[in-house]
Amino acid sequence: MPDRRPLLPAALPRKLLERVRARLAERGDADGGGGRALRLADQAERVLDRLDDTARVLERVARAELALVERMLPIVDDLGALVKLTLEDARRRALGPAADVAPRHRRDPDVIDVD
């Protein structure tokens, strides 16, 4: 089973954003761009919210795909066995019986006496 741990902790971007906000609040509007920076932080938070929603949807899709694959597995196995039997039958008809395979019904050859 694949490793299901996320590559980055989910809280990391949020904590980073909180630190940026705290730093901006500390500095205040001293540089004249604090308002824009806070709006940018708000926008980044909305983007993170959308990414979280998207991640949840993708996880549900992945679970549905996995369930579908698990349901299809027996069908695919049966189809594989059928294809294998069909190929073996086609080879047998094309090449004749293999030397190491005993025929199902062995008949003694007819002996013709010419004496």
What are the extents of the domains in the chain? 12-95
pLDDT at 73 over 90: yes
In terms of Cβ atoms closer than 10 Å to its own Cβ (0-12, 13-18, 19+), residue 41 is: middle
pLDDT at 75 over 80: yes
The pLDDT confidence band at residue 58, using thresholds 50, 70 and 90, is: very high
- State the amino acid at position 113 in one-letter form: D
What whole-number distance in Å separates Cα of residue 54 and Cα of residue 42? 18
Q: 40 and 5 in contact (C-beta within 8 Å)?
A: no
pLDDT of residue 109: 61
Mean pLDDT estimate for the chain: 78
Q: pTM to 2 decimals?
A: 0.52
Neighbours of 40 (CB within 10 A): 13
pLDDT of residue 3: 59
